[in-house]
Chains A and B, each alone.
Chain A
């Protein structure tokens, strides 16, 4: 078990957080993150655990360039997430980040292929290349025969597979998953986790937020946070992987 935050670590980190604070002003100030330093090495698999309100989603939103830190620095593939340029942050989200949400968040009127291709649309890929890439990824997640289905024609597990394919579409620096199994049954959840394991095995960096120990154990290490600070970092050394 390691208790150091490990920011100083190797240059192969794709995500770095250096003394990151995030505060919200709502009458009084709420400190969602109170000085977090963390680095994600390329190809690593990290889980974040902690009680409700501890700052897990806040952390993920910062790494995902959906939000900017109040203090400190967040970089993803050497891009500064704290940039003032909204367009630049959108660019980071579109090319370096792959989001997988608890509630899937697919576009209801687009079919599976179009949903997977959506990030590429904003990255100005041609129509043909977008389709080709989307089909490839749908086959990869086992939905080669559901390409033309809309989200409401798919099961929860299938929707999450589409979401994972979409997250992989731009070949991102990091895949972020916030409670990816929260809205599906245990058995399907296991399939989804298996898929995420595959994604990581293929070399993708994965950052996973969960409050279930069993899910967290899919990762290489577990970052425990409480009240906006890292309490401990638990190394699993692959022990939990196939347990």
Chain B
């Protein structure tokens, strides 16, 4: 009996009990759809994060203190906000070969911001240097000047107040101790050169002021012996072709830096490229995806049990038919093939229905999460293959039972 006839017969017997077959297939559909969904959403989130990091920060080396002893997974990006990098460190790093700029970054504690009589409460704003605003990042106006009472804001900051904030407006900054300073808004930016790879994710309003005169955290530099501004984070902008060399040089310098002397025991200094961050993110997303997908695989196992169960029922019900087929010349392997084909068709139909469903659901999920949809094509192929495999595996034992039916026994009783 050839494969086509076997499939035809299998299809017939599936159609002869539609409801039961449909219910069995639903199990496979759910399994395949979940695998495809989780794999695709995972791939999309990962791809989105990677593209978010993009080229704008590809040549950045982030220098920051992180909690010590985090194991092999790298320092992680939960930095500790310890002002340890002195102006001396900034100067030294700027002299390092391959380094274009060193952008210090610190927080200024504030209590509120006021624009046109609308006051918004806020804990901190960012202090940095004018070099943080490259020309292509400026949407309107210009960068602030060092030493000036000026501010640059992010695009979303324009809507932070009741009346729109724009270049030329003034902003009143109320400090913790209750004093207020007025600054001129001189520019609007869509990113900063020193920002962490995923900073633009948040899209929240940001306000930037020059470190001079606003940033006041100081420490005595062990190298210079004088009090200097000290920052919790530096971004070293490297020559794009020499990012990894620069990372190495930075790490070397850090060992003998002011920061190394000033930092508490519990903290270590790290230099990470955005590539390091991407790897970490990929690692985490990958782990989550694998875990969730593994759970979805359980749904497939349940589906396989469903098929096996229904096939065993089918074999029991059709014992007499098996006897008839054998009496008229069916070989064991013909009978085996029939039942195996039936189980395989159930699995394949489940996969064929489950795949587009999974794609649709994962597409919906990415739209909802505002993440670009990246189909996990590899998983699509795997899902269909697994669906068919589930059918085959689930059908093996029932088909073997069917093949072993003794025609004399099967035909003896009415």
- Which chain A residues have a beta carbon within 8 Å of chain B's beta carbons? 61, 64, 66-67, 86-87, 90-91, 93-95, 99, 101, 103, 105-109, 118-119, 121-124, 127, 166, 170
Contacts and interface: CB of A to CB of B under 8 A. Distances in A.
B329 A93 contact: yes
The SS class assigned to the B binding surface is helix
Given A86-B332, A122-B330, 17 more contacts: A90-B329, A90-B332, A94-B329, A95-B329, A99-B328, A101-B411, A103-B411, A105-B320, A105-B323, A105-B324, A108-B321, A109-B12, A118-B324, A118-B325, A118-B328, A119-B328, A122-B331
Interface residues of B, number: 24
Interface string B302-335: 0000000000000000001101111111111110
A94 to B, nearest CB: 2
A103 B410 CA distance: 12
Which interface residue of B2, B16, B329, B334 has the most chain A CB atoms within 10 A?
Answer: B329
Contacts, number: 66
B328 A93 contact: yes
Nearest to B403: A86
Nearest to B413: A103
B23 interface: no
Given A86-B332, A109-B12, A109-B16, A67 B408 contact: yes
A185 B217 CA distance: 111
A106 B414 CA distance: 12
Interface string B5-19: 100000011001000
B12 to A, nearest CB: 7
Contact of A124 (B1, B327, B407, B414): B1
Contacts of B323: 105
Nearest to B411: A105
A122 B329 contact: yes
Which interface residue of B13, B321, B331 has the most chain A CB atoms within 10 A?
Answer: B331
Contacts of B408: 61, 66-67
A106 B2 contact: no
B411 A123 contact: no
Contact of A94 (B321, B328, B411, B414): B328
B8 to A, nearest CB: 9
A99 B13 contact: no
Contacts of A105: 320, 323-324, 327, 411
Contact of B325 (A101, A122, A170): A122
14 contacts: A64-B327, A66-B326, A66-B408, A67-B408, A86-B331, A90-B330, A90-B334, A93-B329, A94-B330, A105-B327, A107-B325, A119-B329, A122-B329, A122-B330
A64 B16 CA distance: 31
B13 A124 contact: no
Q: Shortest 7 CB-CB distances between A and B: which pairs?
A: A94-B329, A122-B329, A119-B328, A90-B331, A87-B331, A122-B330, A105-B324
